[in-house]
Structure 1
Amino acid sequence: MFHRGPDGYGQWGEAYSERHAVAIGHRRLSIIDLSDAASQPMADASGRYWLTFNGEIYNYIELRDELKAMGARFRTASDSEVILEAYKVWGTDCVTRFNGMYGFAIWDTSARRLFAARDRFGEKPFLFVAKPELFAFASEYKALLTMPGVSRAHDDFRLLRFATNPSTGLDGERQTVFDDMVCPLKSDPP
């Protein structure tokens, strides 16, 4: 996924039991805060929450000011850190405050819980595979297709429909063109 983020990359992970582990990777396209401090995956100051984020939060400056007034401290000038702090204050309701185009995931190391969200209009891709032994997400099909256990089986009808009417898109519905992959709908709750 180098072409999606030529400005840098990062990864973080932990095994939290004998059978369970989490790993987050990120390719960076620097737009707002170009410093290394804004690299991802990004942790909050406590190290409890880890974020990977694709997109832009247009009202991040206003949200940053509001969060600062509530006691939040920022180490970067990035919208990524605003997402982390907003999640810490408002939980999953943070997405109701974001104006932008985004797909992101936050891992809570204490609760061992993943929260993922996509903008209301579905501008930024967020594809995932959910199986009993694996949950994986990415912004492109090919990233998921490289994973062991993810099938390349596809839906011929969806491909033909797209070929004859491209406006329908390949992932305009919850089920994508690949049998194992899903794309959240705009109306899906966070």
Structure 2
Amino acid sequence: MGYSKTLAAGLFAMLFLAPAVLATDPDPLQDFCVADLDGKAVSVNGHPCKPMSEDGDDFLFSSKLAKAGNTSTPNGSTVTELDVAEWPGTNTLGVSMNRVDFALGGHQPAAHPSPCHRDRHRDERVVRAGETFLIPRGLMHFQFNVGKTEASMVVSFNSQNPGIVFVPLMLFGSNPPIPTPVLTKALRVEAGVVELLKSKFAAGF
């Protein structure tokens, strides 16, 4: 998903450029539609609408992204999500946000694989505090904290519920698992290497 990033310290951002034509969320059919998260049906363009609140609380979210997340993870990073499930006012509007915190040397693994692989070009930048970096929608990318302190970034998406695909987890931690012979052929490694990697991702990230 395309989004911009604002950082509190230097981060190394890499993306793999591949031309692709991808559709975004459909345009809303009305000015707003606050999500009825208790509703059982989900329409094509989001959750069912609930009556508009008089105080506008459905459009205000003031605390979750203000706190740093726990970076004591195998990747040295953590993602705090703020999508339609916790910010009902974004329903059908095609926007959401995340906060990502990095320990020193922390990283976010390759994510959001593109459906188009005709171009293997790779671009990389060091993004510093106060700068914004755009990753076009659908391109595989990762971030690595190359600074001398912890870092954080605020991410904006052009989707109310963008989701994420971590490539290592999908390959080696999927349920049911991808058969080992398939991965040995695809990655051109021995079965023991694949089994070792599967053991590392059995519990997720």
TM-score range, shorter chain: under 0.3
The structure with more strand, counted as a fraction of residues:
1
Taking CA–CA contacts closer than 8 Å with sequence separation of 6 or more, which of the two structures ends up with the larger relative contact order? 2
With normalisation by structure 1, the TM-score equals 0.27
The structure with the largest alpha-carbon Rg is: 2
With normalisation by structure 2, the TM-score equals 0.25
The structure with more helix, counted as a fraction of residues:
1
